[in-house]
Amino acid sequence: MSRLRLGFDVSPLHAPHPPGVVRATRGLVEALERRAVLEVVRLVPEGELRSWRQRELPRSVVRLGLRGIHSPVSAFPLRGPGLRVQTVHELPWRHGVKENADWKHRAWAALGPVRADGVLCPSEHVARDLRARWLPGASRIRVAPWGVGAPFSDLPEPGSVDEVVLGKYRLGQDPIVLCVGAVREKKNLAGVLRGLAEVRKRHGPRIQLVVTGAQTPALRRDLGLVSQLGLSRFVSTPGELPEHDLAALYRLASAVAVLSHSEGFAFPVLEALASGTPAVVSRDSAQAELAGCAGVVVDPADAASVADGLSRAVLERETLRFDALERAAAFTWDACAQQVEALWQALA
Are 171 and 253 in contact, with CB atoms under 8 Å apart? no
Shared domain for 9 and 94, answered yes or no, is: yes
Can you tell me whether residue 176 is helix, strand or coil?
strand
State the Cα–Cα distance between residues 172 and 207, nearest whole angstrom: 10
State the Cα–Cα distance between residues 271 and 53, nearest whole angstrom: 32
Shared domain for 175 and 322, answered yes or no, is: yes
Within-domain flag for 231: yes
Within-domain flag for 308: yes
Shared domain for 175 and 309, answered yes or no, is: yes
Shared domain for 50 and 176, answered yes or no, is: no
Within-domain flag for 158: no
Per the structure, how many domains does the chain have? 2
Show the DSSP H helices in 54-123 as ranges: 57-63, 103-115
User: Which residue type sits at 156?
Assistant: P
Pick from 199, 163, 154: which is nearest to 323 by CA? Answer: 154
Instruction: For the chain, 348 residues long, give each residue's pLDDT as a single digit of tens.
Output: 578 999 999 999 998 888 899 999 999 999 999 999 999 999 999 989 999 999 999 999 999 999 999 999 999 999 999 999 999 999 999 999 998 899 999 999 988 888 999 999 999 999 999 988 766 667 889 999 999 988 999 998 888 888 999 999 999 889 999 999 999 999 999 999 999 999 999 999 999 999 999 999 999 999 999 999 999 999 999 999 999 999 999 999 999 999 999 999 999 999 999 999 999 999 999 999 999 999 999 999 999 999 999 999 999 999 999 999 999 999 999 999 999 999 999 998
Shared domain for 310 and 177, answered yes or no, is: yes
- Our CA angle for 31, 142, 48, nearest 5°, is 65
Sign of the alpha-carbon torsion through 305, 311, 315, 319: positive
Cα dihedral 243/280/126/45 (nearest 10):
-10
Within-domain flag for 10: yes
Shared domain for 238 and 254, answered yes or no, is: yes
DSSP 230: T
Within-domain flag for 314: yes
> Using one digit for the tens of pLDDT, what is the confidence trace for 136-149?
667 889 999 999 98
Check which CATH number belongs to the domain holding 38 and give it: 3.40.50.2000
Shared domain for 209 and 313, answered yes or no, is: yes
Shared domain for 290 and 237, answered yes or no, is: yes
Shared domain for 173 and 266, answered yes or no, is: yes
Within-domain flag for 155: no
Shared domain for 247 and 102, answered yes or no, is: no
Shared domain for 338 and 316, answered yes or no, is: no
Q: Which domain holds residue 295?
A: 164-328
Asked if the peptide bond before residue 81 counts as cis, ω within 30 degrees of 0, the response is: no
pLDDT the model gives residue 2: 73
The percent helix, strand, coil of the chain (3-state, each to 5) is 50, 15, 35
Task: Judge if pTM exceeds 0.85.
Answer: yes
Pick from 274, 272, 273, 295: which is nearest to 284 by CA? Answer: 295
User: Which residue type sits at 70?
Assistant: H
Within-domain flag for 228: yes
State the Cα–Cα distance between residues 69 and 76, nearest whole angstrom: 8
Shared domain for 187 and 315, answered yes or no, is: yes
Within-domain flag for 135: yes
Percent of the chain with pLDDT over 90: 87
